[in-house]
Structure 1
Amino acid sequence: MSNEMWVVVQLDSEPLAFPATMIKEVVPWQPLHPVPSEAIGVMGLVSLRGETLAVIDLLEMTGYGVMENPSFMLVLDFSESRIGFAVTKVEGVQYFDVDNMDTNMAGGYIQGTFEKEDRLYQLINPGALEQLVSQHTDIGALLPDG
Structure 2
Amino acid sequence: MAGVLDSVNQRTQLVGQNRLELLMFRLNGSQMYGINVFKVKEVLPCPPLSVIPHSSRVVRGVAYIRGRTITVLDLSIAMGSNALRDEGKGFIIIAEYNNSVQGFLVRGVERIVNMNWEAIHSPPKGSGRTHYLTAVTEVDKKLVEILDVERILAEVAPAPMALSDSYTSETVREEAINTVLIVDDSSVARTQIRRCCEAIGLNTVVLNDGKQAFNHLKAMAEAGEDPTDKYILVISDIEMPEMDGYTLTASIKNDPRLSGLHVMLHTSLSGVFNQAMVEKVGADDFLAKFHPDELAQRVLKQLEQRQASA
Taking structure 1 as the reference length, what is the TM-score of the superposition?
Answer: 0.82
Give the aligned partner of residue 137 of structure 1. Answer: 157
CA contact (8 A) 1:19 1:124 kept: no
Instruction: Give the whole-Å Cα distance in 1 for the aligned partners of 2:101 and 2:20.
Output: 22
Query: Aligned partner of 1:22: which letter?
Result: K
Question: Comparing both structures, which one devotes a greater share of its residues to helix?
Answer: 2
What's the offset of the Cα at 1:42?
A: 0.5
CA contact (8 A) 1:40 1:137 kept: no
What's the offset of the Cα at 1:19?
A: 0.2
Aligned counterpart in structure 1 of residue 93 of structure 2, from 56, 74, 82: 74
Query: Aligned partner of 1:80: which letter?
Result: N
Give the aligned partner of residue 73 of structure 2. Answer: 56
Aligned counterpart in structure 2 of residue 113 of structure 1, from 127, 136, 160: 136
Give the aligned partner of residue 6 of structure 1. Answer: 22
Q: Residues 37-81 of structure 1, C-alpha deviation per residue, up to 9 Å, x if partnerless?
A: 241210001000110011000111221111113421000101131
Q: Which moved more, 1:87-96 or 1:116-125?
A: 116-125
Instruction: Give the whole-Å Cα distance in 1 for the aligned partners of 2:104 and 2:53.
Output: 18
Aligned counterpart in structure 1 of residue 118 of structure 2, from 99, 106, 130: 99
CA RMSD of aligned residues (A): 2.1
CA contact (8 A) 1:6 1:96 kept: yes
What's the offset of the Cα at 1:138?
A: 6.3
Query: Aligned partner of 1:37: which letter?
Result: H
Q: Which moved more, 1:92-101 or 1:42-51?
A: 92-101
Q: Secondary structure at the residue paired with 2:51?
A: coil
Taking structure 2 as the reference length, what is the TM-score of the superposition?
Answer: 0.41
Instruction: Give the whole-Å Cα distance in 2 for the aligned partners of 1:34 and 1:130.
Output: 23
Q: Secondary structure at the residue paired with 1:132?
A: helix
* Structure 2 segments unaligned to the other structure (5+ residues): 1-16, 160-310
Change (3 A) 1:101 1:20: same
Q: Percent identity?
A: 21
Report the structure number with the largest CA radius of gyration.
2
Question: Comparing both structures, which one devotes a greater share of its residues to strand?
Answer: 1
* Structure with higher RCO (Cα < 8 A, 6+ apart): 1
Instruction: Give the whole-Å Cα distance in 1 for the aligned partners of 2:95 and 2:18.
Output: 23
Query: Aligned partner of 1:48: which letter?
Result: I
Q: Secondary structure at the residue paired with 1:31?
A: coil
Q: Which moved more, 1:2-11 or 1:102-111?
A: 102-111
Q: Secondary structure at the residue paired with 1:27?
A: strand
Give the aligned partner of residue 145 of structure 2. Answer: 122
Q: Give the number of aligned pairs.
A: 136
Instruction: Give the whole-Å Cα distance in 1 for the aligned partners of 2:53 and 2:78.
Output: 16
